[in-house]
Amino acid sequence: MLRIATVNVNGLRAATRKGMHDWLAESQPDVVTLQEVRAPDELVADLMGEGWNIVHAECSVKGRAGVAVASRLPITDSRSGEHCVSFADKGRWIEADIKTAKRKVFTVISAYAHTGDETSPIKMNEKLAWFDAATERLTELRADGRHVVFTGDLNVAHREADLKNWKGNIGCAGFLPEEQAFFDSWFDELGWVDVVRSSYPDVAGPYSWWSYRGKAFDNDAGWRIDYQIVNPQLAKLASNARVDRAPSYDTRWSDHAPVVVDYDI
């Protein structure tokens, strides 16, 4: 089994200082996709430690965004923003082609969607354009029949079950119908599969992000905005999907929790 985890680290330097490596040792993922790395290229490998093959898309604005894929298996190729202006130099998209022990190659994407702002048409248009570009790129990747694992912090709660206070967030960025429409299209029209929701079809959550403010974490008042989305053939090979929620507020090393899935590939 191949274990893939995705997590918004909220700054890789801070995450490693707060205990990310303890989680890595316990969970033993083969591939980790990271968002909000917020570190220069030369530091990422040092912060992750030995034994990882790493590709990283750094944001052109220092201290912002940044996405990476770290793999214990060989990475045969990678691509970031060169194919799309919505991704270029923004630190929000990186693809890695990874070779499994069965000598099969699949593509893992680490993505970090814009937060958006319902009061700013410019910011919302940028976010929706990013989702347009993501949809086009996902279709291109899947066209040759490869397995694709689309992971990351997508900053959208798809359904009411994906955030605790959904009534209070009606009309807010992250819970807008025009954002959710992309997810409807992916799942209902294009056949992509939300692995965690497929594993927990009738429950609220499991949430993957909680504000540091107030008692959001203690009350489990979270959002499910971190995803592993795969092609339907790969979904049949997925198991043991979970969110590695920290046992307590003071043991968190990010405001997000890792989303972990095993795949028989």
The residues annotated as belonging to the active site are 153
Put the strands of the sheet holding 226-230 in their side by side order.
Answer: 75-79, 93-99, 105-112, 148-153, 226-230, 193-194
95 three-state secondary structure: strand
Bridge partners, 32 (sequence order): 5, 70
Note whether 53 and 28 are within 8 A (CB).
Answer: no
The closest of 65, 84, 179 to 138, measured between CA atoms, is 84
Closest by alpha carbon to 149, among 204, 201, 118, 111?
111
Listed residue (246, 240, 211) closest to 225, CA to CA: 211
- Would you call 42 exposed, middle or buried from its count of C-beta atoms within 10 A (0-12, 13-18, 19+)? exposed
Indicate the DSSP class of residue 74: P
